[in-house]
Structure 1
Amino acid sequence: MKATWEKIEKNLGVLEVEVDADRVSAALDKAFNKVVKKATVPGFRKGKVPRPIFEARYGVESLYQDAIDILLPEVYSEAVEQTDIFPVDRPEVDVEQFGKGQAFKFKAKVTVKPEVKLGDYKGIEVAAENVEVTEEEVAQELERLQQRHAELVVIDEETAQNGDTVVIDFDGSVDGVPFEGGKSERYSLELGSNTFIPGFEEQVVGLATGDFKDVTVTFPEAYHAEELAGKEAVFKVKVHEIKRKQLPELDDEFAKDVSEFDTLEEYKEDLKKQLADRKSKENEAARESYLVDRVGEKAEIEIPAAMVQGEVQNMVRDFDNRLRTQGMNLEMFLGFSGQTLPELQEQMQGDAEKRVRNNLVLEQIAKEENIEVTEDELNAELNTMAEAYKRTPEEIRNILAANGSLGSMREEVLLRKTIQFLLENAKEVPADQLKPSADAAEEVKEEAAEEK
């Protein structure tokens, strides 16, 4: 097989391939074995028609398309490997010659991974690590724990406030007509949680136990139930109970209840260590993200639209998977949010482009610096996964190899190694002296414009 590659513009080129006649003949044989099972010829059972009889009746040309479908994916992959290109989209194939006893010739327009012209990637300024935990941060964590362990106590003499949980009956109608889902009895609603239609909870604030009130609200224009979208509704509300959080005292007893420590001071010291560890991980993630963004901004790349669209599809699929872990799915989310799939994809476009850019830049840096993944590093990753999923490393390797994900895992390890290389070669400066990335600077401009 002969294969040549010629770049014609930007990330587009032509792959020209010629396959010898012997492989064409073998593909025609496979095509015949496939179609003869369904061929009908008087005097012969299906699947038993001799090849000469079949070709005389239907013509050898009737096998060409099936033979091309069999041969093309195989030789295209070989040609890609032979010419050392990296396609990022489906090729546009033009068959120039195919026939019995002839070579198979075709040209394919192929969009390939773009060239990356790196800017500076060593000595990039990054915020110095800061894991100091203040007393104020410890106090905030204790307050959060107080809230988590608070008890709801019935309030009889006071009116409802934000943060209270009210037990209510409500019965909603539009133009005097009740609607589905608009009625409930003894429903527990936390005021200020923004779980009800905008304006509803605010009108319940100030009511006392036993009070009745007509609450008037307007459904959002993008409400998931189209028959209610933008409509004004009236809810007849009755307050049965008002419950307020009662925070536990911050003392030694509290420490014993929520931890393994006997005193509050011991628990505070442990909290300080936990917060420092959390802060260290958050800082490291933020430093990595900032550094990768800065290096990406300095590079010159013309990213094919197909790569961005492919990443958008990956992001949509990941989003759907996350929703499913929460008992929802993408279709339900779109219904509740009033968005369409194209609108969601449009929202993801910017992040998708940045991801593609940054990954291409990291790959190029890895090539420039000869950063590679060793078998020991790959095995360490497999061991980590095996421990997490309670399987053996061999089982994990076989599963990944079977679904074609082993290469992706190697790429992920390579990207992490490359980011670590950038951190090791970065210049640490105090956080207040750090220049914002282009994305962060743009966000600051937009916020300032909104305030004006």
Structure 2
Amino acid sequence: MKISVKNLEPTKVELTITVDNDELKPYIDDARTEIAKQVNLPGFRKGHVPGKLVEQRFGFGAIAGEAVQNAVPEFYNQAIQDKDLRPMDQPKLDVTSTPDSETSETPLEFTAEVEVRPQFDLPDLSSLVIEIPAAEVTDDDVNNRLETLRKSYATLVSVDRPAKADDFTNIDLEATIDGDVVDSQEGVSYQLGSGTMLDGMDEALEGLSAGEDTTFEGTLEAGEHEGEKAQIKVTLNSVKEEQLPELNDEFATEASEYDTLEEFKEQLRKDSAEVAEARQATEARDAFLGKLEDDLDIPVPSGLKERTADQNLRSMVADPSKATDEQKKEAEEQAEKQLRDQILLDALTESLDVKVSQNDVINFLASVAQQYGMDPNQFISSVVRNGQLQGAAAEVARSKGLLAAMRAVTFQHDGEDVDLSKFLGEEEEQVEQEAAADEQASVQAAEAAAAVAAEATKEGDAADAE
């Protein structure tokens, strides 16, 4: 097999792959055998038709076509391994020539255009020192947590006064365009300042008393007339304000297991400290990736970036064609960041020779299933059936690679080393945990495999019945 590589872009190559007929012959023979198994010819049992008769009946072209269909993906995979390329997307394959007979001198030749991971040199991680913010807990942190708890115990009380910011209201709405009513709603609950309704609603309601109404112009955000200007009549039915409980020992007893407010505050301070430490670990991760990406020139595949940006945009707005320029820019920036992070993490994982065990993948999938309230075995079975297992393993590898890389780096605040082992773990500890969990992982894997097999059996039975 001959392979030539042409660089089309920093992250896109075109491979031209020429396969000798001797290398293609096993695929020709297999194709001839497979076709023979499927045909019926008088005087021969099905599956026992001689190859020469198959070729006479269907022609060499049909056999070659079957062979090429099976051979091209395998020769492509061999080529990218030989050339040490890291594809980031599916290739665009184009067969340019095939042999037209058993003795033809025309080889199988095809091209493969594919976006690949760019090559760059990673720095010596052990020499990196990255400054990060302190994991500080202030009185404001404690008071904010306390205030959030107070709000969860608040009560709504009707008031006889004009509505103001933060009040809870009950309103009726009527939207008209050119004098025609296009939408109306009654008994809608709305808190002033929440921003969950039309622009201009807060200004219209503020200062109104129960029983009063007003009209303002707004842009409809849903329905048949979405995006159109309309006259919005809003009638205020009632006004309620939030009354918070007193901050005292009685509140501490009701909201916690503590008898006094001071004891409760002390626990909230400890909780806040844990949150601050977790936030510091997140900031350390971002600072680490940011430092590497700032120092390295990491181009992003243009085609993959475009598709990723489109996916991001679809998650932002129901109709991407109506997206604003700001939303499009945000989606594109997100795609750029996502892909650059992925490229960097894949490079780190490879350079650190990170291994992903069966237990790693199963635990990852089980945790994802738990997040969505799904049965782990059913979820794993679905992942296997849909061909997503390799993607899951790649995500696990990136996570392990990031942790391994961060363990090699020194993080400091004001010149003092910061210990993040609580969040990054220790390599020896992880090895011991993986070894201890091997037996359980095997059981889970067997259960997942059994679930897949059972589902496949059901599908096969259904197909036979048809």
The match for 1:71 is: 71
Cα deviation 1:393-426 (Å, max 9, x = unaligned):
999988766642353144223322344235x334
Structure 1 residues 346 and 56 mapped into 2: Cα distance closer, same or farther (>3 Å)? Answer: farther
The match for 2:230 is: 232
State how far apart, in whole Å, the 1-side matches of 2:328 and 2:199 are: 27
TM superposition shift of 1:304? 2.6
Cα deviation 1:352-396 (Å, max 9, x = unaligned):
22332233334434555x453375xx6467457657857999999
State how far apart, in whole Å, the 2-side matches of 1:100 and 1:407 are: 43
1:135 to 132, 139, 145: 139
- 1:275 partnered with 2:272: yes
TM superposition shift of 1:288? 1.1
State how far apart, in whole Å, the 1-side matches of 2:345 and 2:126 are: 13
The match for 2:60 is: 60
Which segment is superposed worse, 388-397 or 265-274? Answer: 388-397
Contact 2:153–2:244 (Cα < 8 Å) also in 1: yes
The match for 2:407 is: 421
Structure 1 residues 33 and 5 mapped into 2: Cα distance closer, same or farther (>3 Å)? Answer: same
1:315-330 correspondence to structure 2 within 5 Å: 315=312, 320=315
- AA of the residue aligned to 1:267: F
State how far apart, in whole Å, the 2-side matches of 1:193 and 1:374 are: 46
Gaps of 5+ in 1: 321-329, 432-452
- AA of the residue aligned to 2:241: R
TM superposition shift of 1:297? 1.2
State how far apart, in whole Å, the 1-side matches of 2:255 and 2:162 are: 32
Structure 1 residues 106 and 27 mapped into 2: Cα distance closer, same or farther (>3 Å)? Answer: farther
TM superposition shift of 1:25? 1.9
Structure 1 residues 304 and 409 mapped into 2: Cα distance closer, same or farther (>3 Å)? Answer: closer
- AA of the residue aligned to 2:407: F
- 1:253 partnered with 2:250: yes
The match for 1:436 is: none
Q: Normalization by structure 1: what TM-score?
A: 0.74
1:240-319 correspondence to structure 2 within 5 Å: 240-309=237-306, 311-312=308-309, 315=312
Gaps of 5+ in 2: 417-466
TM superposition shift of 1:277? 0.3
Aligned residue for 1:197, secondary structure, equals: coil
TM superposition shift of 1:142? 1.3
Aligned residue for 2:120, secondary structure, equals: coil
The match for 1:105 is: 108
Aligned residue for 2:389, secondary structure, equals: coil
Structure 1 residues 399 and 105 mapped into 2: Cα distance closer, same or farther (>3 Å)? Answer: same
- 1:404 partnered with 2:389: yes
Task: Indicate the structure whose relative CO is greater, using CA pairs within 8 Å and at least 6 residues apart.
Answer: 1
Aligned length: 402
1:81-100 correspondence to structure 2 within 5 Å: 81-89=81-89, 90-100=91-101
The match for 1:205 is: 206
TM superposition shift of 1:311? 4.4
Aligned residue for 2:143, secondary structure, equals: helix
Aligned residue for 1:357, secondary structure, equals: helix
Contact 1:154–1:242 (Cα < 8 Å) also in 2: yes
State how far apart, in whole Å, the 2-side matches of 1:360 and 1:421 are: 19
Q: Normalization by structure 2: what TM-score?
A: 0.72
Structure 1 residues 382 and 43 mapped into 2: Cα distance closer, same or farther (>3 Å)? Answer: closer
- AA of the residue aligned to 2:3: T
The match for 2:162 is: 159
The match for 1:323 is: none
Aligned residue for 2:15, secondary structure, equals: strand
- AA of the residue aligned to 1:199: G
Contact 1:125–1:429 (Cα < 8 Å) also in 2: no
Contact 1:27–1:70 (Cα < 8 Å) also in 2: no
The match for 1:144 is: 148
Structure 1 residues 257 and 33 mapped into 2: Cα distance closer, same or farther (>3 Å)? Answer: farther
- AA of the residue aligned to 2:28: S
Contact 2:17–2:111 (Cα < 8 Å) also in 1: yes
State how far apart, in whole Å, the 2-side matches of 1:140 and 1:430 are: 30
- AA of the residue aligned to 1:14: L
2:171 to 168, 172, 175: 168
The match for 2:461 is: none
Aligned residue for 2:322, secondary structure, equals: coil
- AA of the residue aligned to 1:208: S
Structure 1 residues 207 and 400 mapped into 2: Cα distance closer, same or farther (>3 Å)? Answer: closer
Contact 1:5–1:83 (Cα < 8 Å) also in 2: no
The match for 1:339 is: 322
Contact 1:170–1:185 (Cα < 8 Å) also in 2: yes
State how far apart, in whole Å, the 2-side matches of 1:345 and 1:43 are: 67
Quote the sequence identity (%).
Answer: 23
Contact 2:310–2:331 (Cα < 8 Å) also in 1: no
Aligned residue for 2:86, secondary structure, equals: coil
The match for 1:372 is: 354
1:39-54 correspondence to structure 2 within 5 Å: none
State how far apart, in whole Å, the 1-side matches of 2:285 and 2:251 are: 38
State how far apart, in whole Å, the 2-side matches of 1:107 and 1:338 are: 37
State how far apart, in whole Å, the 1-side matches of 2:226 and 2:377 are: 55
Contact 2:168–2:239 (Cα < 8 Å) also in 1: yes
Cα deviation 1:120-152 (Å, max 9, x = unaligned):
755545334523322222122212221222110
Aligned residue for 1:334, secondary structure, equals: coil
Contact 1:31–1:70 (Cα < 8 Å) also in 2: no
Aligned residue for 2:355, secondary structure, equals: coil
